[in-house]
Amino acid sequence: MFLEATLKRNPRLLQAALTFHQAGLIPPNTYVLDYDAVQANARLLSQAASAANMTLFFITKQIGHNPPMLEAIQRGGLRKGTAVDVIEAYALASNGVTLGNVGHLTQIPRHDVKPVLMLNPEFFTVFSYNNAQQVYTWALPFKRDTQIMLRVSHPGDFFYPGQVGGVDLDQVVEVARAINDLPPLRVAGVTSYPCLEYDEATGELKPLPNLETVLKARDLLERALGYPLRCVDTPGATSVSAIKLLSRYGVTHAEPGHALTGTTPLHASGDQPETSAMVYVSEVSHIQGDTAYIFGGGFYRRSRVKAALVGWQPEDLNEPPVPCSHPAPDTIDYYGQLDNIPSRVRVGDTVIMAFRSQIFVTHSFVAAVRHINDQPQLMGLWDARGHPAVYGVAAERYGAD
């Protein structure tokens, strides 16, 4: 999906990925992330948000929240992160990241509420009054205000399967008043997801009904509660272009994720401000007829992968891409495949793809590289949850016993 954009905007990343794989320093099933490009993208987002008087909470589930990327994002000017589940909350905090929002896509389980509160997130998102009661039970001993964000919904809103939930717009005032009767809890914001989507017909971003629901909830609550909400949070396809659109609606917060690597649908053309900063590396395992099977483990069912570059030397990156597909959702992600392969494809070749990722739900590796325009440097290897990993000849390099 993003291979052409990467060839256009960041071809040296492709070269570095091939070189490190052929040297045995990174294994197949590795996402390779460009530290400098991620930092530059974060800076663009930070500057756009500042100009629009907005605050951004970055999301790293897509890239595995490994330490170098967290450092690059923060050096780019984005200081606080969103935890989409409790594991990410702990991962971000253990790497020194201040939590901006917890509980949004996945509510915090009741026995994790206390330790998450101890991490002092700025906002705690709840889907219902009952969820707020769980927060209240543990927040009371802290004797400090706990800023509650209500995830809101209304018939006609769009939610991805498995991500449904929220306070109905018709009940939002009643629920907010009940929560405010549980000091130190205080309703301070509203949110939903997704609020924007990419329109394939026009090639542009457009608001979803969820955005209107959030704005209506803001207006209802500010009138009923008698104070302005601190946070009107509208994540979904957040990018420099999205920030310009959202600023028209009085939005205060958004949550960039894929824009950090230039992999929102809007970036497929390679014409957005953010630069392509991530590729996926595999290797030809075996060939059956005109199909080459490549090592999997990091594919994602909504990745829309279409083609791959294949070869063993930099010159091969100039060859036409080879059609590529990944397993159906009901199969185990052992292999992807190259279809109708040319005769030049052979076992052991490096395979490089660029597609939408959700690294936190894979069992892939993540490699960070930097200085790719000068002297490419491999910063290290991590697993999908950001823990250090070693592989092959890299074990000696990284000090494994």
Q: Can you give the C-alpha Rg of the chain in angstroms?
A: 22
Cα 29 from Cα 68, distance rounded (Å)? 19
3-class SS of residue 350: strand
pLDDT > 90 in the chain, percent: 85
Domains of the chain (ranges; CATH) run 3-33+271-397 (2.40.37.30), 79-255 (3.20.20.10)
User: pLDDT tens, 157-184?
Assistant: 999 999 999 999 999 999 999 999 999 9
**Interval 104-128 mean pLDDT:** 96
In degrees and rounded to multiples of 5, residue 98 shows phi and psi of -75, 135
Confidence class of residue 399 from pLDDT cuts 50, 70 and 90? Answer: very low
pLDDT above 60: residue 256: yes
pLDDT > 70 in the chain, percent: 98
pLDDT at 401: 45
pLDDT above 70: residue 93: yes
DSSP tag of 108 = P
Cα 300 from Cα 319, distance rounded (Å)? 26
pLDDT at 395: 52
Residue with tokens 């900063």: 277
pLDDT at 310: 98
Confidence class of residue 367 from pLDDT cuts 50, 70 and 90? Answer: very high
Give the pTM. 0.95
pLDDT at 361: 87
User: pLDDT tens, 374-386?
Assistant: 999 999 999 988 8
pLDDT at 104: 87
Residue with tokens 């790719």: 372
Cα 189 from Cα 218, distance rounded (Å)? 8
**Interval 98-102 mean pLDDT:** 98
What does the block give as tokens for 167?
């306070």
